[in-house]
Structure 1
Amino acid sequence: MLRHSFRSLSVRNFRYFTIGQVLSVTCSWMMFIAQDWLVLSMSGDSAQTLGLVTALQFAPILLLTLYAGRLADRYDKRHLLVLANIAAGVLALLLGLLLFSGAERLWHIYVFAFALGTVNAVEIPTRMSFVSEMVGAELLPNASAMSAAYFNVARIIGPAIAGVAIGRFGVVAVVLLNAVSYLATVTSLLLMRPDELQRSEARPRGAKVADGLRYLLRRPDLVLALTLVASIGMLGFNFQLVLPLLAKTVFHTGSASFGMLTTALAAGSLAAAFATTSRSGRPSQRLLLGSAIGFAVVETMAGLASSYVVALALLAGTGFGSIYFAQAANHRIQLGTDPQYRGRVMALYSLIFQGSTPIGALLSGWMAERWGVRVVLWGGGLASLAVTLVLILVSTRRRPSADPRPEPNQEDRPTRLRSR
């Protein structure tokens, strides 16, 4: 069973990729914690200011991700990832030097957040679609689950270290460490063997965004999954804004306790990631909708937590529900998409999932200023539940079968994976 859970790591290129990602993503989470703490310190604990920074960090995904998906389908994904990680490292270095000089202002943080978001708009869909090139369709569910696992390992370790490091060494040291960490990802990409990548024989040189959208509109199963991702991404996935506000304004704790809240969320997320490593095929629509309901219920409970300890436990449950749902959506979309459109479809997935964050962050910041951060948490859970129930009613009326099949000429073969 253990070998089965980690079987995608037997692929050399993916193993190198995972090692580089663990190191880099851990330091990135440390920097996010430092950035949020810095913004709250500079703004007098302003929820709206933190919401604005979060919105700026994700806004480029709304503007550029579809074009980035076209780039991912048209050009070498490994080369694109090398360039994106170098750019992110340079940005982190510039921010660290600015903070070291002591001349930082809030608008500097705004500019950095937007610039990093621009890089991420290219990196995210490219990285997501690159996983299938490293491991192939048969190992894709396991590799995707392993990617979620290392991401959440980093989200556990990073904030826990950051909470202590900020108090002991300051924000500057954390930011500069993150700048250096991008070398790990770049090195892992350069050490790969290109001839072992499982690339499509015909890379569409004239790949157009419109073609990807037309393909998607012919797939009601993918449209429903993306609609659910858009709704829950905007209404329920605002943890980057909610957690520091919970720590500072509800439980009145310091940076270390803030890091523990993030760690609790990540611990649940990690458990969900490992729970999905055994998946060997495309998830059903019923599983997708059920996981959305489960996430919505536990997030609502977390918003009503009576104490810090209870909040830690319920945030762990929220983390489990969020990643289990996200993985179900990711696998259902990736394994149901033709390889020649995968970059553009996953770009739309990234656009919807993370591009909805600026809207959700601004709305959440406005709500938190007026009614408190608890309302943002339990309100997001109830709203996510309502949207899921509506989609269940719509899909039931539209089609009796819960799992519509792809068109015959589209990629169905890769979804029929070898059983355990």
Structure 2
Amino acid sequence: MQTHLSPEFAGTADGQDAEAILRKCVHCGFCTATCPTYQLLGDELDGPRGRIYLIKQVLEGEQPTGKTQLHLDRCLTCRNCESTCPSGVQYGHLVDIGRRIVEAKVPRGAGEQALRWSLKEGLTSPLFGPAMKLGQAVRGLLPGVLKAKVPAAQPAGRWPTRSHARKVLMLAGCVQPSMAPNINAATARVLDAAGIQALLAPAAGCCGAVKFHLNDQAGGLEQMRRNVDAWWPWVERGEIEAIVMNASGCGVTVREYGHHLKHDPQYADKAARISGLTRDLSELLPAIAGALQGKVRAPEGVLAYHPPCTLQHGQKLRGGVETHLQALGFDVRVAPNEAHLCCGSAGTYSVLHPDIAGQLRDRKLGHLGALAPRAVLSANIGCITHLQSGTATPVRHWVEVLDEAIVAA
């Protein structure tokens, strides 16, 4: 794609990065076939190719409008288009640049600003935990829309106390400890059963994705730097072999710390090292499955698995969860239709665009429900919460089911 950047962006870091991405695009349109919003809305500007043109126009000097902003906002950032693109266009990075530029040029209304501020500050605040507990205490009295965002309270679960030679760091996350605390404890127990000790760095917090994708990119970068600082002593001492993520939305973000902080001379090298050490929990499954052979009693019945976009498209990790759980005796199945499509959660998207998110959720649940599962499994807290809001079938993290199946020694 030929580009003629305006003087405002020519020679800048954003301009150079965007131009390199734009010039890979050959207008083929393969991306539109796998874009969830294009499939639902049928508008070229609500597909990757159309959004690329909008960003290109802004970079070439055209003034963006509220309509430009809306089409960019409607993107789920599922990155399915990246998996489809034959030219390797890094659409996710381009839309980050485009959104940041448009955000600075197109003011939002007061109500929209307040909602977005509440999400980016509230979800990452230390007060989120107490607020969630209060919501769970009165959950039965909440209206349906709000109740769907407040999962029933669950016990945190026991944290293992054994020490092992193999050690990994875990990110607790910002919302997961409050919304589904058993996921982290189950992760630690499964790792412990496989001879791996899970450690937490108390100073590490939100991965930065919430603020970054709500266009507070400066705030997101600060959270990334804080996590790098929190983890660096363990890395520098060589005490851990990996930084393990059990929420794929966090995982794809931390894997890209090196990209996001590449222009920061103080953090570029450290961030690249952190990204290189980051592993999704499913990447440890070969070792875990080997260590647990003969120690697992898999439950009867079908378990439907929804691979999150942040896992299969963002991190390019496919097939690992179902393959290794099947090897341990679980009847895990992926829906034969549209397994590549987003469920509509996409971080805060389900709050900002509930109609589109709801359509995608129901479409996804229809395919998963066709498997008549005893439970639906996934690998990201956002997907789990969003899917659960539309079905009575239990929706859980796969590690919780594996944890429960381990036979006590």
Name the structure where helix makes up a greater proportion of residues. Answer: 1
Same fold (TM over 0.5): no
TM-score, normalisation: structure 1: 0.26
Name the structure where strand makes up a greater proportion of residues. Answer: 2
